[in-house]
């Protein structure tokens, strides 16, 4: 099936234009496929409709990102948004959350930043592994690349260094396009159902309860960064 036909078929399953798309769960082959680059397979109208549908799906979930494979479309396209209020962003925030305005990115990829090779451990969940979390080590900073579609309709080449939580979101979503789930990268023994997440907000206590070994178990209370 041609990509545009597949996208139209996926969009056609919605009850109405404001309805979210179904998010497929781990085990669906689309989540393990290597997605095709977005390279003119879709008309502008269909691309815009697809992005809008992915944004509705992300908001409805709710989540901070959705990748096209999660709605069963093997295309290198993601949407992201993490609205952080001025009061939410402060120095004690171990995850270093900063505002990530709503955007779609086609053909996203990321590269290491040689000047910041620190690894950060953080709890991640995935809308395609509903209800579960695990501790995932990630580079604290990455160079992010791709074609960005901003909420105001602007299209631009993306080439920026992102750090902290939004760098983690970008890596998580871009990984989906190579068939990688965040839990594939997680620290062994750190798989936790969200009902128990409250026990594990302090990583030093979490690794004790879970019997986690390795670099992450060397962290001080409250610390989530680990310099390599």
- For 195-217, the three-class secondary structure string (H helix, E strand, C coil) is HHHHHHCCHHHHHHHHCCCCHHH
Shortest distance in whole angstroms from residue 95 CB to Zn ion: 17
Residue identified by tokens 């992005």 is: 51
Given the rule CB under 5 A, which of 27-35, 54-62, 108-116, 125-133 is the region that contacts Zn ion?
Answer: 125-133
23 binds Zn ion (CB under 5 A): no
- ∠ Cα 8 35 42 (to 5°): 35
Catalytic residue among 81, 173, 220, 227: 173
Given the rule CB under 5 A, which of 10-18, 78-86, 120-128, 137-145 is the region that contacts Zn ion?
Answer: 120-128
Residue nearest to Zn ion (CB): 126
Nearest residue to 122 (alpha-carbon basis) of 52, 201, 65, 44: 201
- Give how far Cα 69 sits from Cα of 65, 73, 86, 138, 209, Å: 12, 5, 33, 21, 34
Binds Zn ion by CB under 5 A, chosen from 126, 169, 203, 210: 126
Shortest distance in whole angstroms from residue 57 CB to Zn ion: 12
Site string for Zn ion, 75-94 (x = CB under 5 A): --------------------
- Structure token digits, residue 102: 């709503």
Given the rule CB under 5 A, which of 102-110, 124-132, 161-169, 187-195 is the region that contacts Zn ion?
Answer: 124-132
Nearest residue to 30 (alpha-carbon basis) of 150, 180, 136, 157: 180
In terms of CB distance, is 126 or 206 closer to Zn ion? 126
Instruction: Look up 173 and say whether it is catalytic.
Output: yes
Nearest residue to 35 (alpha-carbon basis) of 140, 146, 132: 146
Shortest distance in whole angstroms from residue 170 CB to Zn ion: 12
Q: Which residues are catalytic?
A: 173
- For Zn ion, the binding residues (CB under 5 A) are 126
């Amino acid at each position: 099936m041609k990509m545009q036909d597949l996208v139209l078929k996926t969009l056609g399953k919605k009850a109405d234009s404001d309805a979210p798309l179904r998010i497929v769960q781990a085990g669906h082959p689309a989540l393990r496929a290597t997605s095709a680059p977005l390279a003119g397979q879709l008309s502008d109208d269909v691309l815009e409709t697809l992005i809008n549908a992915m944004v509705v799906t992300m908001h409805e979930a709710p989540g901070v990102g959705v990748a096209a494979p999660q709605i069963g479309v093997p295309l290198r396209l993601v949407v992201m948004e993490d609205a952080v209020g001025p009061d939410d962003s402060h120095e004690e925030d171990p995850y270093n959350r900063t505002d990530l305005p709503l955007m779609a990115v086609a053909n996203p990829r990321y590269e290491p930043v040689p000047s910041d090779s620190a690894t950060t451990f953080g709890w991640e969940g995935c809308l395609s592994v509903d209800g579960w979390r695990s501790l995932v080590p990630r580079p604290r900073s990455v160079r992010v690349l791709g074609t960005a579609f901003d909420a105001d309709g602007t299209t631009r080449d993306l080439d920026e260094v992102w750090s902290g939580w939004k760098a983690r979101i970008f890596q998580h979503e871009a990984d989906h396009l190579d068939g990688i789930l965040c839990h594939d990268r997680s620290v062994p023994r750190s798989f936790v159902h969200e009902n128990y997440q409250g026990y594990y907000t302090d990583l030093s206590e979490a690794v004790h309860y879970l019997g986690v070994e390795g670099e992450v178990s060397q962290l001080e209370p409250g610390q989530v960064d680990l310099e390599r």
